[in-house]
Structure 1
Amino acid sequence: MNIGLFTDTYAPQVSGVVTSIQTLRQQLTARGHRVYIFTSTDPNVPKDVLEPDVYRFPSFPFIGFKDRRLSYRGGIQAIQLAKKLQLDIVHTQTEFSLGLIGKLVARQLKIPAVHTFHTNYEDYLHYVANGKIIRPASVAVIARSFMIGMTGVIAPSKQTYDTLTKYKVSAPIEIIPTGVNVKHAESEDTSSQLRQKLGLSSDTPVVLSLGRIAFEKNIDTALSIFAEVLIKVPDAIFLIVGGGPAMAALKDHVRSLEISNNVIFTGEVDHDEVYGYYKLADVFLSASISETQGLTFIEAMTANTPVVAIRSPYLETVVIDDNIGALADDSYELLEPVVNYLMAKQAHRIIGQPSIREKVLYDIDAVTFGQRVLDCYSEALVVYHEEEDMEEATSNDLEYAKSFLTRTSFHKEGK
């Protein structure tokens, strides 16, 4: 099968969406399918770099979110390319520029289009003129309008499924959690080397936050909780791995809490080192309430690092035993489990039932994820039939594009 993945976000950008797409590509390729990436240009990718089966279209950065890109042309080129590649199915990963191009390609080639709804945009509206241009009510209209004509929609979690149902999306929706690699080679565990590099002893208690350093992640709240943790575990270190727009504000917050000696900011790290950071941690802490799934949570689980996080419909399906982690109804309830896991690690005491963790790991395995998406494609190919009014469909897409392009300002650059 020849599969086209259409996304505004791709490597070298770092995000959960990129990780999901790369995981899917690896799994589909391993099963003998050919996967082509249709994405935006990126200033961090030199023009002379060869990227097999990756096709980039001219783009500019989104205002307020300038490490994310939007393409401004390429529809005709994409159609011609898709015909040459003989695509069998289109899988869009964005509701914006490349998503619209993907819909156009599917319509012109008369092949099914499947869409994954990755992001709850209501949590990100502050990036666009502090939420004064696009309102929460507009998100439902945008999402519903984009998914008109889709053969199927993938929701990464029950929480996302409920959101799409609330938005009254008409296309069939299937819940398929994004998978991660649950089987790691010993060579991937670089935790000892990283501890040495960071100046940490083998028994230094470590609390970890890993991911994009963004305001909606509520890392400032996690830091405030950690300040209380230090009362019980005074030698603990909070390791914050990643980069992003909230970095300066967080460093100011650390100084105001007077915990600078117990907090380490690493900045962005090489992806090959990520598993090592999970392994060196004694607990993974998150105060975020914006996650529809949160790949960092399940990546931590594969490293046998307990997760302490705010309760969500998705996390309730995976954090089902104390061996996996603990969920809190509010940030104040995060303190006690963090302290408990740190003290248990120091006492070499096992919390919960490891056998239950193993069952959960099967469900979040990348292999399981790949097979479920492939089954979704197979069903889409069976049920797809050409009955869409082309003129009406084109009109709907134009109206959809206007719904955000006319309300949103963009920063143009010479790329």
Structure 2
Amino acid sequence: MRIGLFTDTYFPQVSGVATSIQTLKQVLEEAGHQVYIFTTTDKNLGSYNDPTIIRLPSVPFISFTDRRVAYRGLLSSYKIAKKYRLDIIHTQTEFNVGVLGKILGRALKIPVVHTYHTQYEDYVNYIAKGMIIRPSMVKYIMRGYLKDLDGLICPSRIVLNLMNNYEIKVPKRIIPTGIYLENYRRDDISPQMIADLRAELNLRADEKILLSLSRVSYEKNIQAILSSLPDVLSQIQTVKLVVVGDGPYLETLKAQAKELGITEHVVFTGMISHEKTALYYKAADFFISASTSETQGLTYTESLASGTPIIAQTNPYLDDLISDSMFGVLYADPDDLAGAILEALLVKPEKDMTQWDEKLYQISAQHFGQSVYQFYLDVLISKSQKTTPISLTIESSRTEKSVKLVRSAMSLPKKAVKKTARTSVKVVKVPRHMIRSIKDFLD
């Protein structure tokens, strides 16, 4: 099968979406499929010559300058997609490149499926401080993007419930993103390497380690973990929280730890290399997260693959993942976090390795790839059974809707640029040029 993945974010940008896309590409290629990624350029990339990754000219996005917005490349993308004879298009983001994927799918008369990765209600405040898009608007914006797809992949029951709440009627399937287990099992990591890391972080051998590993931002709710530590320490003094990562909330968290008088029990490491993450997971007694903004959270599965159980606030995704107490402890009420930590530290069940291996297969990249491929097949079969072909020349209403969709998707930067001085002026000039190209192409 020849598959086109369309995304506004990809490596070298670091995100869970980029990791999910890379994993899907690799596992599908290992199964013999041809996979092409259509994405944005990136100033940190340098030269690139991978023919399976098509880079579209782009500029920094408003308020997220480490993310990019494509501003041209429609016609060249169409020619490339036609040359590669794509069988299906799989969009991964809802911005310009995602819209481009939908347009090309209609032009090439092939199915378009989408994976919904992000709960935007938790992030709209980053865009001009919420002055342009409010959380209540997200539902209606997403309806416009999702309503005419051939299929929708939900990485978790959280997303499925959200899509049902949005009243999205297209065929949906829950397919969690998988990981390459061998990157985290890491039999090469010895007890001595773990002891050396603990010594490097000034952690004693008898201390219990709680690991937080994420972007250090407000919505990750690391502040809740810090707030719970005094209650935990009143019962168990030999507890340390290791906060791995960097981000805009780091200095605030350091100040909070000082105010709470727990600086001796908190270690802030800053960013670490991806190759070291398995070592940190294995050195910890528990991976801990109080975030409520995750639709799935690859760090949870990475931790389990490393052999480390989890402490986290319950949600439908984690209810499915933490199916036995050996995999971790979940709490429902934010006030119960300290109690959950104490429960995890004091009552740690033995591992049933048969159940653990079954869980690892469920979260593996291979299972992920097989599930997505099966969904592709089901969508293709369903599409082939429809008797009325899509015609761009006679369905003028669809053409107008596509143009309106692109116009709405690209009008956001024009408004928000007044709020963000760092945004390139090129963004303001984008809409008319791209919309004119789309009209010329579709007419």
Range with greater deviation from structure 2 (72-81 or 51-60): 51-60
Q: Secondary structure at the match of 1:212?
A: coil
Displacement of 1:51 after TM fit? 4.0
Matched, 1:37 2:64: no
Task: Render the CA deviation track for 1:385-404: whole Å, top value 9, x for unaligned.
Answer: 56345332332233223435
Going from structure 1 to structure 2, the CA distance change for 1:193 and 1:4 (only over 3 Å counts) comes to farther
Q: For the Cα contact (< 8 Å) 1:322–1:351, is it kept in 2?
A: no
Q: For the Cα contact (< 8 Å) 1:306–1:323, is it kept in 2?
A: yes
Matched, 1:68 2:67: yes
**2:248 aligns with one of 233, 238, 245:** 245
Range with greater deviation from structure 2 (204-213 or 193-202): 193-202
Q: For the Cα contact (< 8 Å) 2:186–2:278, is it kept in 1?
A: no
Q: Secondary structure at the match of 1:67?
A: coil
Matches of 1:265 and 1:50 in 2, distance apart? 38
Partner of 2:17 in structure 1?
17
Amino acid at match of 1:363: Q
Task: Render the CA deviation track for 1:323-346: whole Å, top value 9, x for unaligned.
Answer: 1111111222121232233345xx
**2:257 aligns with one of 247, 254, 257:** 254
Matches of 2:51 and 2:302 in 1, distance apart? 27
Matches within 5 A, 1:327-338: 327-338=330-341
Amino acid at match of 1:26: Q
**1:311 aligns with one of 307, 310, 314:** 314
Range with greater deviation from structure 2 (48-57 or 17-26): 48-57
Going from structure 1 to structure 2, the CA distance change for 1:49 and 1:267 (only over 3 Å counts) comes to farther
Range with greater deviation from structure 2 (292-301 or 232-241): 232-241
Matches within 5 A, 1:143-182: 143-182=142-181
Matches of 1:20 and 1:202 in 2, distance apart? 35
Matched, 1:395 2:400: yes
Partner of 1:141 in structure 2?
140
Going from structure 1 to structure 2, the CA distance change for 1:254 and 1:393 (only over 3 Å counts) comes to farther
Q: Secondary structure at the match of 1:384?
A: helix
Matches within 5 A, 1:366-385: 366-385=365-384
**2:275 aligns with one of 272, 297, 310:** 272
Q: Secondary structure at the match of 1:245?
A: coil
Displacement of 1:407 after TM fit? 4.3
Q: Secondary structure at the match of 2:329?
A: strand
Q: Secondary structure at the match of 1:309?
A: strand
Amino acid at match of 1:400: L
Matches of 1:272 and 1:107 in 2, distance apart? 41
Matches of 2:309 and 2:13 in 1, distance apart? 27
Q: Secondary structure at the match of 2:326?
A: coil
Q: For the Cα contact (< 8 Å) 2:154–2:172, is it kept in 1?
A: yes
Going from structure 1 to structure 2, the CA distance change for 1:57 and 1:116 (only over 3 Å counts) comes to same
Amino acid at match of 1:185: R
Matched, 1:323 2:334: no
Matched, 1:213 2:213: no
Range with greater deviation from structure 2 (359-368 or 393-402): 393-402
Amino acid at match of 1:195: R
Q: For the Cα contact (< 8 Å) 2:102–2:112, is it kept in 1?
A: yes
Matched, 1:185 2:190: no
Matches of 2:234 and 2:341 in 1, distance apart? 12
How many residues align? The count is: 410
Partner of 2:429 in structure 1?
none
Matches of 1:80 and 1:272 in 2, distance apart? 38
The two structures, once aligned, show a CA RMSD in angstroms of: 2.2
Matches of 2:252 and 2:201 in 1, distance apart? 22
Going from structure 1 to structure 2, the CA distance change for 1:358 and 1:266 (only over 3 Å counts) comes to same
Dislocated runs of 4+, deviation >6 Å? none
Going from structure 1 to structure 2, the CA distance change for 1:70 and 1:351 (only over 3 Å counts) comes to same
Matches of 2:236 and 2:186 in 1, distance apart? 32
Identical-pair percentage: 41
Matched, 1:340 2:332: no
Matched, 1:204 2:207: yes
Displacement of 1:2 after TM fit? 1.6
Displacement of 1:231 after TM fit? 2.4
Amino acid at match of 1:21: I
Partner of 2:234 in structure 1?
231
Q: For the Cα contact (< 8 Å) 1:9–1:17, is it kept in 2?
A: yes
Q: For the Cα contact (< 8 Å) 2:38–2:54, is it kept in 1?
A: yes
Q: Secondary structure at the match of 2:65?
A: strand
Displacement of 1:170 after TM fit? 2.5
Q: For the Cα contact (< 8 Å) 1:242–1:269, is it kept in 2?
A: yes
Q: Which runs of 5+ in 2 are unaligned?
A: 427-443
Displacement of 1:52 after TM fit? 5.2
Q: Which runs of 5+ in 1 are unaligned?
A: none
Going from structure 1 to structure 2, the CA distance change for 1:31 and 1:235 (only over 3 Å counts) comes to same
Instruction: Using structure 2 for the length normalisation, give the TM-score.
Output: 0.86
Matched, 1:5 2:10: no
